[in-house]
Amino acid sequence: MRPLNSRNADASPARRDDLKKSVLGRLTSLLFPVALCSVAACLLQAQSTPSKSAASGGNSPAQQTSTRPNEIGLPASKDKIRVRVEVVNVPVTVLGKRGLPIIDLTQSDFQVFEDGRPQAIRYFSQESRQPLRIGLILDTSNSARRQLQFEKEAATEFVFQMLAGRNTRNQIFLQTFDATSSLIQDFTSDPEVLNEKIQELKAGGGKALYDAIYYTCKDKLMHAGDPESTRRVLVVISDGMDVQSQHSLDEAISMARKAETMIYTIGNAAYSFSNPGDDILEGLAEGTGGGAFFPLRDAPGTDLATGYLSHGQIGDTSQNKGLGAETGTFSAQRLVRIADAMEAIYHELGAQYEIGYTPTNSALDGTYRSIRVLLARKGVTYRWKPGYFATAE
């Protein structure tokens, strides 16, 4: 039988050489890409596979100089070592004699103390750039029925001021309280959504102010972003009276401190009412570094007086008896001043100094650390965050 390649065998030597070259050329063109990919794969595998000394715990040069993310300057090792630098932010409000913010102070004008020990200021800004997380609490109890419409109008204006501009980073949520507290609108940057909910509010019965503050700080503001990069504020419009809360005033203040929240209060008790709730509102503000406003304390002029209000005219419910109110002059037009108080809070929050320091006591032991700020300039009023809890979270 004739071999299949007999024709090639019968070819001349020159012909056979040409055939060999042709076959070798085709094989090279086919195999070279495959070989190249194999070499690349081997190189990648060599880079991703630990060296023998590294796998066995040896100290190779690469192992000695490598670092892990967020572990700056520390060698990689089997046991992770993490360094966490705590920065305490202290917003400070400075007001002149007319109550207007003072904005020309420098870092050298401030001194900061923690538990009586001086602290080195590491960060300072004449205008805080941290976004605001604001809780707005309105009193919708029976005793606030006459003032509710003015509260709503003032709150509406405040919301538009704080959330002005499409690129705002501020957020506000709306809460009300009577016998219980209710979340009406969660955090939002949309003033239209908030104000629609504000206009729908109606007065009810009961009064549990402390519970409203306690749970608002615990459930909402405690989780409103990192306190190192946000300012947490609670604005409360109320007469300061409480008759139904399960938590005390001290517990409400303590929870606000844990949430690193400044409380601003606006008293809505009408002029000439002897209102012990004013002391409560002042205590909430002073205990958290906020401010207390009483726009209705000043007596209205005779041209503004619209009538005479006695205690019996606003009902004989238990919470009204608790007011200890006396008869006096009442002017509904004076309630417009609530809006002025809201505007004052708006200006304060927009002109706060931002101070940051790393505490000399770095232990995260859960204790409360008191903060004191001293200011070189005389003849001014200033307030600041009074302290914080040294916890890991």
CA distance from start to end of the chain:
91
Top-confidence residue, 318 or 95: 95
Residues 6+ apart with CB under 8 A from 232: 132, 133, 221, 224, 259, 260, 261, 262
Same domain, 359 and 342: no
Residue 147 inside a domain? The answer is yes
Taking the C-alpha atoms of residue 166 and residue 314, their distance in angstroms, rounded to an integer, is 42
Span 196-216, mean pLDDT? Answer: 93
> Same structural domain for residues 309 and 377?
no
Q: How far is CA 133 from each of CA 168, 185, 187, 188, 248, rounded to the nearest angstrom?
A: 12, 13, 8, 10, 24
Residue 327 and residue 385 in one domain: no
Q: Check whether 254 has a pLDDT greater than 70.
A: yes
Residue 251 lies in a domain: yes
Provide the mean pLDDT of the chain. 76
In a domain, 14, yes or no: no
Token digits of residue 304: 């503004």
Whether 357 contacts 124, CB under 8 Å: no
**Where do we find the tokens 């040409």?**
18
Other C-beta atoms lying within 10 Å of the C-beta of residue 212: 28
Share of the chain above pLDDT 90, in %: 50
Of 349, 364, 381, the one marking the end of a domain is 349
Q: Reading across the β-sheet that carries 368-375, which strands appear in turn?
A: 117-119, 110-114, 368-375, 387-389
Q: Which of 133-142, 223-232, 308-317 has the highest mean pLDDT?
A: 133-142
- The predicted structure's pLDDT at residue 217: 96
The verdict on 108 and 198 lying in the same domain is no
Q: Six-digit token pair at 337? A: 């001043």
Give the residue among 322, 345, 208, 328 at the shortest CA–CA distance from 270: 328
Lowest-pLDDT range of 121-130, 176-185, 295-304, 382-391: 295-304
Q: Check whether 31 has a pLDDT greater than 70.
A: no
Asked if 137 and 285 sit in the same domain, the reply is: yes
Same domain for 99 and 171, yes or no, is no
Candidate from 8-17, 154-163, 236-245, 350-359 with smallest mean pLDDT: 8-17
The two tokens of residue 153 are: 């109008």
CA 287 and chain centroid, separation: 19
pLDDT at 260: 93
Residue 110 clears pLDDT 50, i.e. is over it: yes
Q: Are residues 96 and 190 in the same domain?
A: no
Element (H, E) at 265: strand 261-267
Tokens representing 171? 């957020």
Assess whether 368 and 282 both reside in one domain: no
Quick check: is 9 in a domain?
no
pLDDT of the residue at 119: 97
How many Å apart are CA 386 and CA 5, to the nearest integer? 100
Asked if the structure places residue 182 within a domain, the reply is: yes
Residue 13 lies in a domain: no
In a domain, residue 377? The reply is yes
Question: Cα–Cα distance between 86 and 366 in angstroms, integer?
Answer: 13
Total of domains in the chain = 2
Mean pLDDT value across residues 28-38: 46
User: Both 317 and 240 in a single domain?
Assistant: yes
pLDDT of residue 5: 44
Q: What is the average pLDDT across 296-323? A: 41
104 and 138 inside one domain? no
Highest mean pLDDT among 22-36, 218-232, 319-333: 218-232
Range of the domain at 178: 132-349
242 has pLDDT over 90 = yes
Higher pLDDT, 218 or 304: 218
| Predicted pLDDT of residue 170 | 95
Q: Say what the pTM is.
A: 0.70
Give per-residue burial for 163-186: e unless 16+ CB within 10 Å, then b.
Answer: beeeeeebbbbbbbbbbebeebbe
- 106 and 235 housed in the same domain: no
Looking at residues 208-226, what average pLDDT do you find? 94
The arithmetic mean of pLDDT across residues 99-120, rounded, is 95
- 263 Cβ partners below 8 Å, 6+ apart? 213, 233, 234, 235, 236, 256, 284, 285, 287, 288, 290
* pLDDT greater than 80 at residue 120: yes
- Residue 389 CA from chain centroid, whole number: 16
The whole-number pLDDT of residue 339 equals 84
DSSP 204-223: -S---HHHHHHHHHHHTGGG
Q: Report yes or no on 40 lying in a domain.
A: no
CATH of the domain at 220: 3.40.50.410
pLDDT class for 392, splitting at 50, 70, 90?
confident
Q: Are 295 and 216 found together in one domain?
A: yes
